[in-house]
């Protein structure tokens, strides 16, 4: 590896001596000796196992739930339904005032996606819990479901989530997050070429090798220790406190050791119901997803659709960009209103465009709720934007890398969301990439700098 | 349910347990004996996190019934270091930044150990092949491959 320290040397105090050097990780000795304690490595005498009865339908009303046969199954200790959960309707981001509460811990009267948790069974063994869960009888009235975001936004579409009242999140800015900068229509009118393209992606599962789960131990002093692989310890603790109507001082969360997360373990899913089970039985409880649940139940990266319309001049300048982005939240919000909002700020990309119009929608459908995953809200957008950039370059007959130099943002440029650009290093990165990839560009681009235009 | 007696040698020590018929070796090791170094990632033989060595062969403990291990000699990653000194493979994984979340690490080390037992100086392709049943979702494969090659080199230097 070659390290070029000359770039931005005046903006740095260190000499980057750590870069490219191996450094021991503090957790590695535990990993290589098998001593690292993951949540599932805790075992307690008398520990119960929790299994969920899940909805086989994408959208249905629950007429009745009959747990009588399941209760008689050998080894069953406790069966929980919605009425057992103190504050059953919650939403994770309520902690930062992003509501309304729109998701049930256990389904109450209705299911909105295939796999939704309806009844929790606690038993002496995993097998007994699984067998008893199969004996729970739920009578469903199947409702029309909607799986496509644009269908969901049409008038007359089945309403997925009554807590919202319509199939999109309602921002303080209205039905979508909006960015308005310059005059996008005037930009298109002045452009030599206009190109509109649609891009879309499917949900992506993180598939960590360690599945989502927790082990809860009642401590005897009315406190509960929860060993968990959550990636969001305090979000989970605070949401659990709300859901169980239990002061946070009663909850001791032990975690930080996660067998792969990638954003897939930031939702508050297993801990509240497992702690409730421990509270109501007085026994330790283990709730761990099977591999099938990890793939089907845990939230994936959202499916997205991005429509990009660009106006471009023959000399390579992009003069107008209009983007409509759709984020498929699935049946519940989780982190998706935030993801869609990030997209609104991000869609101009690292390019300076004088006229920008962006609308991003967080849409509800009867699909598995989506949530965080590495760069959620912007990753799919970047794919779309950079494919669009290549298409634009081809359209006007420019080299795709030179086309990016022409439009690259530089320090001092105003971004569409009114944040002046600082610390841009795109030009310098592209200059090095041009050399490293042996993709030559004209000398004038190698003479450019992020510091100042014309430099 | 009638229990089945099982007796085997684990990392040099005699172990005896009564298990339910059908209990996996993974369950017996982790929940009965308390050796949690093999991990349960998929419980269907696809991720390799539960890999252990039985009588010199690499095995998936999630697909091995405990009752079939009577009289066997079993090695897990927790039994690899001797007298507090790390095995060359453990040392190489530590030095080469070959762990991230660490969940696949014990299984990777087991697979690498069996490779080096049979092939002391493997080629890179042989290392890749030997680790092909072990999934690392942090996708740190390159440092893992390098660690195994480094351990092989340090072994051969030691022998010379």
- List of residues 6+ apart from A414 with CB closer than 8 A: A420, A421
User: What pLDDT score was predicted for residue A73?
Assistant: 98
On chain B, the residues whose CB falls within 8 A of the CB of A29 are 94
Banded model confidence at residue B84, pLDDT cuts 50, 70, 90: confident
Closest chain A CA to residue B45: A291
CB contact under 8 A, B95 and A22: yes
CB contact under 8 A, A22 and B97: yes
Residue to test with chain B: of A18, A20, A33, A290, most B Cβ within 10 A: A33
Give B23 or B156, the one with higher predicted confidence. B23
The alpha carbon of residue B125 is apart from the nearest alpha carbon of chain A, in Å, by: 23
Cis omega (within 30 of 0) for bond into A227: no
Closest chain B CA to residue A207: B137
CB distance B152 to B122 below 8 Å: yes
Angle between helices B105-118 and B88-95 (to 10 degrees): 130
User: What pLDDT score was predicted for residue A6?
Assistant: 82
User: What pLDDT score was predicted for residue A455?
Assistant: 42
Closest chain A CA to residue B43: A291
Residue to test with chain A: of B100, B102, B144, most A Cβ within 10 A: B102
Distance CA A383, CA A390 (A): 11
User: What pLDDT score was predicted for residue B83?
Assistant: 86
Closest chain B CA to residue A30: B102
CB contact under 8 A, B78 and A34: yes
Closest chain A CA to residue B98: A28
User: What pLDDT score was predicted for residue A11?
Assistant: 79
Angle between helices A379-396 and A336-346 (to 10 degrees): 30
On chain A, the residues whose CB falls within 8 A of the CB of B44 are 291
The alpha carbon of residue A408 is apart from the nearest alpha carbon of chain B, in Å, by: 31
User: What pLDDT score was predicted for residue A452?
Assistant: 67
Does the CA dihedral A408-A411-A412-A418 come out positive or negative? positive
Statement: A177-204+300-397 belongs to CATH 3.90.850.10:
no
CB contact under 8 A, A33 and B78: yes
CB contact under 8 A, B94 and A32: yes
Residue B1 above 70 pLDDT?
no
DSSP string, A7-24: TTGGG-SS--TTTT----
* Six-digit token string for A148: 């496509």
Q: Which residue in A32, A36, A259 is closest to B90 by CB distance? A: A32
User: What pLDDT score was predicted for residue A23?
Assistant: 78
End-to-end Cα distance, chain B: 55
Laid out side by side, the sheet with A60-66 consists of: A110-111, A60-66, A137-142
Q: Is the fold of B3-79 the same as that of B88-159? A: no
Q: What's B88-159's CATH class?
A: mainly alpha
CB contact under 8 A, B135 and A30: no
Residue ranges per structural domain of chain B = 3-79, 88-159
Closest chain A CA to residue B91: A32
CB contact under 8 A, A259 and B39: yes
Residuewise pLDDT in 10s, chain A (455 residues): 678 888 888 878 888 888 877 778 899 999 999 999 999 999 999 999 999 999 999 999 999 999 999 999 999 999 999 999 999 999 999 999 999 999 999 999 999 999 999 999 999 999 999 999 999 999 999 999 999 999 999 999 999 999 999 999 999 999 999 999 999 999 999 999 999 999 999 999 999 999 999 999 999 899 999 999 999 999 999 999 999 999 999 999 999 999 999 999 999 999 999 999 999 999 999 999 999 999 999 999 999 999 999 999 999 999 999 999 999 999 999 999 999 999 999 999 999 999 999 999 999 999 999 999 999 999 999 999 999 999 999 999 999 999 999 999 999 999 999 999 998 999 999 999 999 999 999 999 999 999 865 44
CB contact under 8 A, B137 and A37: no
Statement: B3-79 belongs to CATH 3.30.70.890:
no
Maximal CA-CA distance, chain A: 80
Distance CA A406, CA A195 (A): 18
As a whole number, the mean pLDDT across chain B is 95
Q: Which residue in B47, B76, B137 is closest to A34 by CB distance? A: B76
Q: Is the fold of A47-143+207-296 the same as that of A177-204+300-397? A: no
Statement: A47-143+207-296 belongs to CATH 3.40.50.620:
no
Q: Which residues of A touch B (CB under 8 A)?
A: 22-25, 27-38, 40-41, 43, 206-211, 257-262, 290-291
User: What pLDDT score was predicted for residue A1?
Assistant: 66
How far from A84 is each of A70, A80, A103, A215, CA to CA, in Å?
17, 6, 16, 20
User: Is this prediction's ipTM beyond 0.85?
Assistant: yes
The alpha carbon of residue B145 is apart from the nearest alpha carbon of chain A, in Å, by: 15
Residue ranges per structural domain of chain A = 47-143+207-296, 177-204+300-397
């Amino acid at each position: 590896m070659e390290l070029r320290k000359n770039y931005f040397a005046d903006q740095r105090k260190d000499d980057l001596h750590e870069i490219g050097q191996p450094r021991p990780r503090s957790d590695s000795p535990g990993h290589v000796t098998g001593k690292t304690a993951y949540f599932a490595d805790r075992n307690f005498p008398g520990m119960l196992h929790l299994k969920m009865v899940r909805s086989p339908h994408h959208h249905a009303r629950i007429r009745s739930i009959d747990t009588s046969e399941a209760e008689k199954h050998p080894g069953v200790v406790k069966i929980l339904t919605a009425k057992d959960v103190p504050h059953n309707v919650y939403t994770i981001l309520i902690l930062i005032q992003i509501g309304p509460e729109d998701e049930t811990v256990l389904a109450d009267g209705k299911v909105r996606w295939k796999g939704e948790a309806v009844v929790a069974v606690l038993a002496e063994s995993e097998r007994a819990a699984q067998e008893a869960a199969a004996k729970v009888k739920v009578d469903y009235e199947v409702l029309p479901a909607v799986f496509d975001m644009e269908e969901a936004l049409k008038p007359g579409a089945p309403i997925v989530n009554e807590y919202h009242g319509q199939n999109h999140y309602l921002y303080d800015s209205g039905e979508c997050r909006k960015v308005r900068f310059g005059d996008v229509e005037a930009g298109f009118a002045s452009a030599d070429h206009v190109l509109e393209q649609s891009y879309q992606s499917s949900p992506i599962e993180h598939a960590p090798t360690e599945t989502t789960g927790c082990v809860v131990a009642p401590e005897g002093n009315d406190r509960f220790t929860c060993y968990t692989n959550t990636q969001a310890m305090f979000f989970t603790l605070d949401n659990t406190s709300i859901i169980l109507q239990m002061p946070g001082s009663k909850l001791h969360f032990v975690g930080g050791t996660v067998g792969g997360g990638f954003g897939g373990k930031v939702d508050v899913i297993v801990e509240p119901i497992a702690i409730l089970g421990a509270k109501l039985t007085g026994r330790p409880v283990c709730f761990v997803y099977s591999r099938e649940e990890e793939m089907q139940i845990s939230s994936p990266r959202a499916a997205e659709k991005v429509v990009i319309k660009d106006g471009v001049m023959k000399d390579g300048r992009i003069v107008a960009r209009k983007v409509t982005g759709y984020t498929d939240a699935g049946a519940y919000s989780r982190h998706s209103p935030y993801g869609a909002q990030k997209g609104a700020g991000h869609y101009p990309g690292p390019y300076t465009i004088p006229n920008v119009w962006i609308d991003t929608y967080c849409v509800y459908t009867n699909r598995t709720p989506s949530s965080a995953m590495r760069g959620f809200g912007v990753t799919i957008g970047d794919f779309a934007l950079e494919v669009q950039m290549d298409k634009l370059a081809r359209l006007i007959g420019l080299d795709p890398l030179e086309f990016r130099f022409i439009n690259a943002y530089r320090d001092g440029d105003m971004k569409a969301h009114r944040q002046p650009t600082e610390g841009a290093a795109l030009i310098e990165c592209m200059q090095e990439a041009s050399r490293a990839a042996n993709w030559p560009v004209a000398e004038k681009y190698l003479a450019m700098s992020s510091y100042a235009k014309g430099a | 349910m009638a229990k089945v007696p099982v007796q085997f040698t684990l990392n040099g020590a005699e172990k005896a347990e009564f298990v339910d018929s059908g209990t996996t070796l993974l369950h017996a090791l982790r929940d009965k004996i308390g050796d949690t170094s093999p991990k349960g990632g998929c419980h269907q033989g696809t991720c390799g996190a539960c890999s252990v060595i039985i009588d010199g062969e690499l095995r998936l403990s999630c697909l091995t019934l405990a009752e079939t291990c009577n009289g066997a000699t079993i090695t897990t990653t927790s039994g690899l270091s001797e007298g507090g000194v790390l095995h060359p493979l453990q040392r190489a994984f530590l030095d080469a930044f070959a762990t991230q979340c660490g969940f696949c690490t014990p299984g990777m080390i087991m697979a690498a150990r069996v490779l080096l037992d049979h092939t002391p100086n493997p080629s890179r392709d042989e290392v890749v092949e030997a680790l092909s049943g072990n999934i690392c979702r942090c996708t740190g494969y390159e440092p893992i491959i390098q660690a195994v090659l480094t351990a092989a080199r340090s072994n051969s230097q030691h022998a010379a």
